[in-house]
Amino acid sequence: MKENVLKVENVTMQFGGVVAVDNLNLEVGKGEIVALIGPNGAGKTTAFNVITGVYQPTNGAVWFQGEKIVENHPQGKMKQQYKGEHAGDYAQVLAPTPDKVTRLGMARTFQNIRLWKSQTVFDNVLIAKHCRATSNVFSAAFRLNRKEEAVQRENVLELLETVGLADVKDEPATSLPYGKQRRLEIARALAAEPKLLLLDEPAAGMNPQETEELTAFIGEIRDRFHLTVFLIEHHMNLVMNISDRIYVLDFGKLIAQGDPAAIQNDKRVIDAYLGVSEDA
């Protein structure tokens, strides 16, 4: 395997008595497209939220580009309540806020599209550039950062052209059709100049044709921006088509991992999905 970009190590996320993610271990290698799948409520989005700093895990650590960015161990009341493993392995508390994680080089999209509704397409992407801006508030207000601003605008325009949204750049973001909104959310994440792109159900609610387009699109941007992609998805076509490797979660636990072919034939995976009608 190539050098890994993301490593999740013994992560357990427990809400009160409910264990949402149970001792999760996974790795995403540089340049890979890795999928995280599992039935509804398996803890996929929770895992994403732990990785991106939205939740602080109850126990475990997350490494990004060889650096430990998140770490925690059960504390306070949780000490008694804790049901997971490896409780004693971690001593440090590292809890970056999501914005910090993003600035480290990780950007995500959301399961339920979260665009900035009052902004235009262009501004949605431009705002994501803010985290890369170096100007302070004075130089920004008094336009001393003109150069930087101009470069940003140019980059955004380029980016919009790449993702095929340049023609609607001045439309309000919410006026776009659903598929384009998804695309815009990805473009916005790209504007934050990530190394690792996390996509939370990018094809949710899309028809087969849109899904196909999206599959091609993800591959395209991976190559163009030299990205690593980690995604959650229910559309098996998409997953099987583009993933290099797949992790399968059920009830918070990792039940299988491997390349698409292996996963497709894995007994546990089939069991986990049995009875759950997926539209794949």
Partner 1 sequence: MQYAISILLSGVSLGGQYALIAIGYTMVYGILRLINFAHGDVFMVAGLMMVYLTASLPLAASIPLVLVLTVLLGFIIERAAYKPLREAPRMSVMISAIGVSYLLQNLATYVTGGLPKMYPEIPGISNTITIAGVPTKVVTVVTPVLVLVLVLALTQLIHHTKVGMAMRAVAKDFETAQLMGIKINAVISVTFIIGSFLAAVGSVLYFTNYQSIVPLSGALPGLRAFVAAVFGGIGSIPGAVVGAFIIGISESVIKGSSWSIFSDAFTFALLIIILVVKPTGLFGEKVTDKV
Partner 2 sequence: MKKTVNKSAWAGLLCAAALLALVVILENVLDPNKNIMVFAALKKGAVYALVAVSMNLLNGFTGLFSLGQAGFMLLGAYTYAILTIPVSQREAVYYIYNGSAVNFSLPELFGGGAFGLVLGVVLALVLGGCVAAAVAWLIGLPVLRLKSDYLAIATLGFGEIIRAVFQWDKLGPVTNGANALKNFPTFSSFNITNGSGETVLRLSTFTAFLLAGICIAVIVLLINSTYGRAFKAIRDDEVAAEAMGINLSKHKRLAFVISSFFAGVGGGMFAMFANQAQAKTFTTAMTYEILLIVVIGGIGSVSGSCIAAFLYVAASEWWLRFLDAETFIGGFKVPLLRNGFRMVVFSVVIMIVVLFFRRGIMGDKELPDLLKKRRKEGAK
DSSP E strands: which ranges in 82-227?
106-108, 196-200
**Is residue 45 close enough to count as binding partner 1 by CB under 8 A?**
yes
Q: Which amino acid is at 176?
A: L
| Binding partner at 126 among partner 1, partner 2, none, C-beta below 5 to 8 Å by kind | partner 2
Shortest distance in whole angstroms from residue 54 CB to partner 1: 5
The smaller minimum CB distance to partner 2, of residues 64 and 90, is found at 64
DSSP for 174-230? GGS-HHHHHHHHHHHHHHT--SEEEEESTTTT--HHHHHHHHHHHHHHHHHTT-EEE
Distances (CA, A) of 216 to 64, 247, 260: 26, 21, 17
Q: Which is nearer to partner 2, 152 or 228 (CB)?
A: 152
- Would you count residue 171 as binding partner 2 (CB under 8 A)? no
Closest CB to partner 1 among residues 49, 72: 49
The residue among 117 and 130 lying less far from partner 1, judged by its C-beta, is: 117
Residue 54 as a binder of partner 1 (CB under 8 A): the answer is yes
Q: How many residues bind partner 2 (CB under 8 A)?
A: 41
Residue 249: contacted member of partner 1, partner 2, none (CB under 5 to 8 Å, by partner type): none
- Closer to partner 2 by Cβ: residue 130 or 226: 130
| Packed helices 178-191 and 146-163: angle between N→C axes, nearest 10 degrees | 140
| Position 110 contacts partner 1 (CB under 8 A) | yes
Is residue 259 within 8 A of residue 29, CB to CB? The reply is no
Report the C-alpha gap between 33 and 246 in whole angstroms: 9
Tokens 């591959």 sit on residue: 219
Task: Rule CB under 8 A: say whether 116 interacts with partner 1.
Answer: no
CB of 148 to partner 2, least distance (A): 8
